[in-house]
Amino acid sequence: MKALEGIRVLDLTHAHAGPICTLYMAAMGAEVIKIEPAWGDRTRMFPPLVKGTSPYFVFLNRCKKGVTLDLKDPRGNEMFRKMVKKSDVVMENFSAGTMDRLGLGWETLHELNPGIIFASISGFGQTGPWSDRRSFDPIAQAASGYMWVMKDAIDPEGPPLMAQEAIADTIPGFTCLIGILAALNHRNRTGRGQRIDVAQMDSMIGVMQSFSFWNLVNNTFRGAATSGGVRVSGLHKAEDGYVMFSLPAGRITDWFQELLGVEELTPDMVTKWVAERTVDEVVEQLAKTGVPVAPVQDLDQTLANEHARAREMFVKVDHPVLGETTLPGFAIKFSETKGHISTPAPLLGQHNEEVYSELLGLSKEEVEGLRKAGVI
Ligand SMILES: CC(C)(COP(=O)(O)OP(=O)(O)OC[C@H]1O[C@@H](n2cnc3c(N)ncnc32)[C@H](O)[C@@H]1OP(=O)(O)O)[C@@H](O)C(=O)NCCC(=O)NCCS
């Protein structure tokens, strides 16, 4: 039994922000039906391709069923409407207004199924002066102030800087996930579905402490942290690599001072102490002392890391085209309803027959007819 078992999601998402949200739902047991146009989600072609398959797509779309459906074709559109009646969540991240143009806006979906939860991620939301603008991760990083905060932390005189790993897709994806889970809880109590409108820009603003520091003390989070409570923290160079540790005022700094046998730490003292030791020696001694510390690992080191492995943070996925590949595991550790994230991402239209026969009662011949007609 998994936490979201019995929940069916019609997943129209593409790129990153939407698929990361439905990936987590699928890992928690929801039946996620990824609906793609005949040309497929754009990330299927994200280079470099390995045997015609994108590492991007295989990461984000695990544990989902894959069907093709032309929503602009009246037959395809009708099939989608029928599936809405049998589903719990519709999720999309097209540019705002796209679902209305498809005749599949909130009013329609709600009328078809009053219990449906209809969640959208867009760059700037469904309302407001910028709502009709398209967006990707860098656009939201720029608009939210995040790129400015990055450069302010690293080189205040330099150009704006972008964080990596599609942070302004993932944070909106997880923001939307929280909204969907709350809406499912509300629906369980009332029977009523609802519309969820998540913007990438809002999601980034919503998690940035710097706005509070800026308005109250005219500083960023990083600026306040380095000038105030936290001392000689950060990156240090050891003999054979880098270590990161944090020394907030209080007992953690006291422990570090005891270790060094000094009453007061100076940055030079810390730099010298680290420089005379290997990364392993520094990490071992500081961890034993209670100081928050980690080696700065490259991807090979993290992949081989005993702790990440003990926490099952890398899983083997047996992909029909790629064979066995290693991907990040599921980061929520449930005591009762263990997550599962190692079913491979679907090939384009892989589950057409299964889904359309189970959900819409179509025969094999009917499914084949729809394929020939280009509806699926
Ligand atoms: C990512 C983005 C910039 C891509 O822009 P785009 O390629 O022009 O795609 P859009 O979302 O604007 O439009 C998709 C089109 O495909 C069509 N489409 C999508 N799925 C379809 C299907 N199954 N059948 C038929 N048509 C389909 C839509 O109807 C729409 O057509 P239209 O423009 O004629 O209305 C845009 O989708 C966007 O801003 N999304 C919101 C923010 C976001 O999530 N960004 C990605 C972060 S990783």
Q: Where are the domains of the chain?
A: 8-208+310-372, 232-301
The Cα diameter of the chain in Å comes to 82
Reported as a pLDDT band with limits 50, 70 and 90, residue 141 is: very high
Closest ligand 1 atom number to CA of residue 42? 7
Query: Could you read off the pLDDT of 203-229 as tens digits, one per residue?
Result: 999 999 999 999 998 888 877 777 755
Strand order in the sheet with 241-245: 234-238, 241-245, 293-295
DSSP states of 115-131: T-EEEEEESS-SSSTTT
Q: What are phi and psi of 293, to 5 degrees?
A: -150, 150
Residues 6+ apart with CB under 8 A from 375: 69, 70, 73, 75, 76, 79
Give the per-residue pLDDT at 223. 78
In percent, the amount of the chain with pLDDT more than 70 equals: 98
Q: What is the pLDDT at residue 225?
A: 74
Q: How confident is the model at residue 339 (pLDDT cuts 50, 70, 90)?
A: very high
Fold match flag (8-208+310-372 vs 232-301): no
- Give the model confidence (pLDDT) of 300-329 as tens digits: 999 999 999 999 999 999 999 999 999 999
Using alpha carbons, select from 50, 49, 83, 62 the residue that is nearest to residue 20: 62
Answer whether 94 contacts ligand 1 (Cβ < 6 A): yes
Question: Are residues 82 and 112 in contact, defined by beta-carbon separation less than 8 angstroms?
Answer: no
73 in catalytic set: no
Q: Is 93 in the pocket of ligand 1 (CB under 6 A)?
A: yes
pLDDT band for 232, please (50, 70, 90 cuts).
Answer: low
Tell me which residue has its CA closest to atom 46 in ligand 1.
136
CATH architecture of 232-301: 2-Layer Sandwich (3.30)
Average pLDDT over every residue of 37-61 = 96
Whether 230 has a pLDDT exceeding 70, the answer reads: no
Task: Look at residues 267, 259, 282 and name the one whose alpha carbon lies nearest to residue 233.
Answer: 267
Whole-model pTM above 0.75? yes
Of the residues 169, 197, 202, 300, which is catalytic?
Answer: 169
Query: Span 226-238, mean pLDDT?
Result: 72
Q: What is the pLDDT of residues 94-110, one digit of tens each?
A: 999 999 999 999 999 99
Per-residue pLDDT of 148-159, as tens digits, reads: 999 998 888 999
For ligand 1, pick from 78, 83, 94, 126 the residue to mutate: most ligand atoms within 8 Å of CB.
Answer: 94
CATH for 8-208+310-372, options being 3.40.1380.10, 3.40.50.11710, 3.40.50.10540, 3.40.430.10:
3.40.50.10540
